[in-house]
Amino acid sequence: MTKRDYYEILGVSKDASVDEIKKAYRKLAMQFHPDQNPGNKEAEEKFKEAAEAYAVLSDADKRRNYDQFGHAGVGGAGGGGGFQFDPNQFADFQDIFGSFFGGGGIFGDIFGSGQRRRAGGAEQGSDLQYTLRVDFKEAVFGVEAKEIEIPRMEACDSCGGSGCESGTRPQACPQCRGNGQVAVRQGFIQMYVTCPRCEGRGQIIPSPCTNCRGEGRIHRRSKIKFKIPAGIDRGQRLRLNGEGESGRNGGGRGDLYVVFDVAGDPLYERDGFDLHRTFEVPWPILTLGGNLPIETLYGQDTLKIAPGTPGDKVVKIPNAGVPRLRGAGRGDLYLHLRVAVPQKLTPQQEQLVKELLETMISNGQAPEQPEGFLAKVFGSEKNRKKKKR
Ligand SMILES: [Zn+2]
Ligand SMILES: [Zn+2]
């Protein structure tokens, strides 16, 4: 039997969107679903065919292979029956059918099981996520023992997580005999559905613990201490194994993911492991050169300014940035120089600057100024007092 084209099966065009493919499949699946067509072999074939086409066309990689190589590109060498279902597809199938057929394990029998719930009652606890805002320096230097408080489900102290009143034990569910699922026959097809009595847990608790009402866990705010590594940045995630929620009925704990938010700093701007900051330098030092004391995150340092340094120069101080999370060393610190221009001068300073400007004008280093300009701009004591009147 030659295989039909997947696009043809679903009745969509070759450039159909994922949404169109999903819709087309859902329509066919409902039409040919075994529930709707008990004992109809042809409908069963159509149903399987549509499911297979959907499994390929809804997966970008497989679809690309199929478009390029046809059936040979997606398992089975062109012949019927060679197709293998990827168990990862299951989540998607359930997603699609959830609202139509009430979820459950309907595909357990058709496509090979794998989705059947583990019997025994215990369930793995869920993972939690917590956003933690730290200040700039906590992120740079790390924190040896940061304490946070999180609300989470924890194993019940009274029953130790079993959910049973002391002295009693859970019993295998009589309805599903501990399987968590019960088989339902629909004509030629056998389906498994979640056991309604134990809700899939496979066991029931005859006398529930009064503290947790049989859940095996209670809601609590807990304090957790952990180390923040030096160099973490905004948006990064730290996993704390086993600090998530406790599972039901004594199941293992999930993990806690701490996501960092880092506050800004008035002085530093962070770019990965490098830091940037502006640094004011009095203009005579830029002209003459000199040494300037500078306080970095790691202590006192000296910045050497060469004579004639441009006022917008960027100076790198190596290894004065943020510690690298993985690997050794730190990023660098970049100082963006800015000329500091004094707003107030003493009469003596004013006189000196005026003289400097005059020599610069006569040397051709500054443009000629209009008549009387210098007197107006800098003014003498006498002129200033006259103006005020
Ligand atoms: Zn049951
Ligand atoms: Zn309890």
| pLDDT value, residue 118 | 43
Contact call for residues 35 and 44 (beta carbons, < 8 A): no
Task: Find the 331 Cα to ligand 2 centroid distance in Å.
Answer: 52
| pLDDT value, residue 28 | 86
Q: 112: pLDDT confidence band, cut at 50, 70 and 90?
A: very low
Angle at 241 between CA 238 and CA 243, to 5 degrees: 95
Arithmetic mean of pLDDT over the chain:
82
Given a cut of 80, whether residue 79 has pLDDT beyond it is no
Contact call for residues 193 and 105 (beta carbons, < 8 A): yes
Ligand minimally distant from the alpha carbon of residue 172: 1
Ligand minimally distant from the alpha carbon of residue 218: 2
| pLDDT value, residue 29 | 81
Given a cut of 70, whether residue 93 has pLDDT beyond it is no
In degrees to the nearest 10, what's the CA dihedral of 175, 177, 181, 187? -70
Q: 153 or 117: which carries more pLDDT confidence?
A: 153
Question: How far apart, in Å, are the Cα atoms of 317 and each of 185, 261, 271, 278, 300?
Answer: 76, 27, 15, 13, 12
| pLDDT value, residue 186 | 77
Rounded mean pLDDT, 187-210 = 87
| pLDDT value, residue 195 | 87
| pLDDT value, residue 345 | 93
Task: Find the 173 Cα to ligand 1 centroid distance in Å.
Answer: 4
Sequence-separated (6 or more) residues with CB below 8 Å from residue 289 = 304, 305, 306, 307, 308, 309
Angle at 144 between CA 220 and CA 232, to 5 degrees: 90
Domain 6-110 class, CATH top level: mainly alpha
Q: Best-predicted range by mean pLDDT among 37-46, 83-92, 305-314?
A: 305-314
Given a cut of 70, whether residue 305 has pLDDT beyond it is yes
Instruction: With H, G, I as helix, E, B as strand and everything else as coil, classify residue 244.
Output: coil
Ligand minimally distant from the alpha carbon of residue 121: 1
φ/ψ (deg, to 5) at 316: -100, 130
Given a cut of 80, whether residue 380 has pLDDT beyond it is no
Task: Find the 204 Cα to ligand 1 centroid distance in Å.
Answer: 8
| pLDDT value, residue 84 | 36
Task: Find the 207 Cα to ligand 2 centroid distance in Å.
Answer: 11
Q: In the chain, where are the structural domains located?
A: 6-110, 269-340, 347-388
Ligand minimally distant from the alpha carbon of residue 192: 1
Q: 75: pLDDT confidence band, cut at 50, 70 and 90?
A: low
Task: Find the 118 Cα to ligand 2 centroid distance in Å.
Answer: 22
Task: Find the 166 Cα to ligand 2 centroid distance in Å.
Answer: 9
| 329-376 pLDDT, tens digit each | 999 999 999 999 989 999 999 999 999 999 999 999 999 877 766 665
Lowest mean pLDDT among 69-83, 102-116, 245-259: 102-116
Paired residues of 295 in beta bridges? 300
Cα four-point dihedral sign 293, 332, 334, 289: positive
Q: Best-predicted range by mean pLDDT among 88-97, 156-165, 379-388?
A: 156-165
Rounded mean pLDDT, 24-41 = 82
Ligand minimally distant from the alpha carbon of residue 157: 2
Assigned fold of 269-340 = HSP40/DNAj peptide-binding domain (2.60.260)
Rounded mean pLDDT, 139-148 = 95
Given a cut of 70, whether residue 107 has pLDDT beyond it is no
Given a cut of 60, whether residue 116 has pLDDT beyond it is no
Report residue 225 as tokens.
Answer: 């201490």
Ligand minimally distant from the alpha carbon of residue 209: 2
| pLDDT value, residue 80 | 35
Task: Find the 123 Cα to ligand 2 centroid distance in Å.
Answer: 15
Given a cut of 90, whether residue 123 has pLDDT beyond it is no
Instruction: With H, G, I as helix, E, B as strand and everything else as coil, classify residue 172.
Output: strand
Task: Find the 179 Cα to ligand 2 centroid distance in Å.
Answer: 24
Given a cut of 80, whether residue 173 has pLDDT beyond it is yes
Task: Find the 208 Cα to ligand 2 centroid distance in Å.
Answer: 8
Query: What is the rounded CA–CA span in Å between residue 58 and residue 20?
Result: 10
Ramachandran bin of 235, using left for φ above 0, alpha for ψ from -120 to 50, beta for the remaining angles: left
Given a cut of 90, whether residue 124 has pLDDT beyond it is no
Task: Find the 251 Cα to ligand 2 centroid distance in Å.
Answer: 13
Task: Find the 330 Cα to ligand 1 centroid distance in Å.
Answer: 58
Rounded mean pLDDT, 185-205 = 84
Rounded mean pLDDT, 76-103 = 36
| 178-192 pLDDT, tens digit each | 888 888 887 788 888
| 240-271 pLDDT, tens digit each | 999 999 988 777 899 999 999 999 999 999 99
Q: 3: pLDDT confidence band, cut at 50, 70 and 90?
A: confident
Report residue 319 as tokens.
Answer: 């290894």
Contact call for residues 269 and 275 (beta carbons, < 8 A): yes
Contact call for residues 350 and 370 (beta carbons, < 8 A): no
Q: Does an H or E element contain 69, and which? A: helix 60-69
Given a cut of 50, whether residue 276 has pLDDT beyond it is yes
